[in-house]
């Protein structure tokens, strides 16, 4: 199986058509300048050693240098075989609040980006646990099912934003109900739901949903982002950035509600964590997870991944050397062989 570790470096390949376009412009300009200097049939006499094919070969070599170096930076890896891996862990579902109130900047850079940072760092510290992700605002929606593929989970996490749900609000109860369907393995002993948001809930059904989840053995951890002082909700448009206003024309201030999140955690037999300090929040969560009973399960995965970047790096260096050795004048011994049909 092939894995491309850093696909973002493929963007460097966009430099190739730019280089070709610039080379064509330069060649066109040279031809115009030469025509002003002398007639075309006099060029062979004026510059007998000038090669027509080598500038093209240099351009091809330079484009290949860009291509091979770009792929080397992507760092392709090959998995040679499948093997069964035994893991020990718990099933964890993250429920991320994506309502508009999460755009408030009372916590840097804003609430939703802070939440994604917290979740991402939690995932980085996990070993053997399976994870899933849910988003919720006025309604809840699945983002990625239970998986051990942390890289894919973080990719989906980065794509989450406040425009994913048209109906606004914070349907925490719907998120809890949706999460219950994620735990589809009856053999898993410990199941954890981690709710990350500002706690602004516009309903009371979350209490019944949290109790129902607790009755099924799901422990609910809540992590609050935002401050009690709160902040306005920015709205970006063609005129720049404005702030959400109510019917009276006054700026809406959204405030974090840790009381709501604490209540959910108490009902769900979990724990409430203040997410203001990321490292402190992660340490508190790790302590909570360490006390949970782990489940041993097997999974198939590709093993013995071998890095392949060195091949592309080597070819890139080779063509770079070739590009530097190729001169625009004819090579005498090649001229004698007449490989390029040069008189």
The closest of 30, 37, 35, 34 to 55, measured between CA atoms, is 30
Is the separation of the CB atoms in 203 and 171 below 8 Å? yes
**Total Cβ atoms within 10 A of residue 114:** 21
Length reported for the chain: 343
Question: Is-contact 226 111, C-beta < 8 A?
Answer: yes
CATH entry 3.40.50.410 includes domain 83-300: yes
**CA separation (Å) from 174 to 23, 150, 165, 195?**
59, 25, 13, 12
- Going by the DSSP 8-state scheme, the letter that residue 6 receives in this structure is -
Structure tokens at 314: 């080597």
pLDDT per residue, tens digit, the chain (343 aa), is 677 878 888 999 999 999 999 999 988 887 787 777 666 666 666 555 666 788 888 899 999 999 999 999 998 887 666 566 666 788 999 999 999 999 999 999 999 999 999 999 999 999 888 899 999 988 899 999 999 889 899 999 999 999 888 777 678 899 999 999 998 777 777 899 999 999 886 556 788 999 999 999 999 999 999 998 999 989 887 777 888 888 888 898 999 989 999 999 999 999 999 999 999 999 999 999 988 888 776 655 555 677 888 999 999 999 999 888 877 666 554 455 555 555 4
Q: Which residues are CB-contacts of 334 (< 8 A; sequence separation ≥ 6)?
A: 340
Where do the domains of the chain lie? Answer: 2-79+306-337, 83-300
Q: Record the tokens describing residue 337, joined without a space.
A: 């062989």
């Amino acid at each position: 199986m092939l894995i491309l570790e850093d696909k973002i470096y493929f963007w460097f390949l966009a430099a190739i058509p730019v280089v070709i376009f610039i080379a064509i412009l330069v060649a066109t300009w040279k031809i115009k300048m030469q025509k002003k200097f002398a007639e075309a049939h006099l060029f062979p006499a004026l510059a007998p050693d000038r090669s027509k094919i080598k500038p093209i070969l240099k351009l091809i070599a330079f484009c290949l240098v860009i291509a091979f170096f770009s792929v080397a930076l992507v760092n392709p890896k090959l998995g040679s075989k499948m093997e069964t891996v035994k893991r020990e862990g718990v099933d964890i579902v993250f429920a991320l609040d994506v309502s508009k109130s999460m755009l408030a900047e009372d916590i840097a850079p804003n609430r939703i980006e802070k939440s994604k940072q917290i979740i991402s760092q939690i995932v980085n510290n996990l070993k053997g646990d399976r994870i899933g992700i849910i988003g919720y605002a006025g309604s809840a929606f699945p983002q990625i099912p239970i998986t051990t593929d942390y890289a894919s989970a973080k990719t989906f996490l980065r794509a989450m934003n406040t425009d994913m749900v048209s109906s606004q609000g914070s349907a925490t109860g719907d998120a809890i109900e949706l999460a219950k369907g994620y735990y589809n393995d009856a053999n898993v002993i410990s199941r954890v739901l981690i709710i990350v948001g500002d706690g602004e809930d516009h309903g009371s059904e979350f209490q019944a949903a949290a109790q129902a989840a607790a009755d099924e053995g799901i422990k609910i951890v809540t992590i609050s982002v935002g401050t009690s002082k709160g902040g306005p909700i920015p709205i970006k448009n063609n005129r720049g950035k404005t702030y959400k206003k109510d019917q009276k024309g006054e700026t809406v201030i959204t405030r974090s509600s840790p009381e709501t999140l604490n209540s959910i955690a108490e009902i769900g037999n979990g724990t409430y964590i203040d997410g203001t300090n990321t490292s402190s929040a992660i340490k508190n969560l790790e302590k909570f997870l360490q006390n949970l009973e782990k489940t041993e399960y097997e999974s198939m995965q590709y093993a013995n991944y071998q890095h392949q970047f060195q091949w592309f790096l080597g070819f890139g260096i080779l063509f770079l050397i070739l590009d530097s050795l190729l001169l625009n004048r004819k090579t005498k011994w090649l001229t004698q062989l007449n490989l390029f049909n040069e008189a």
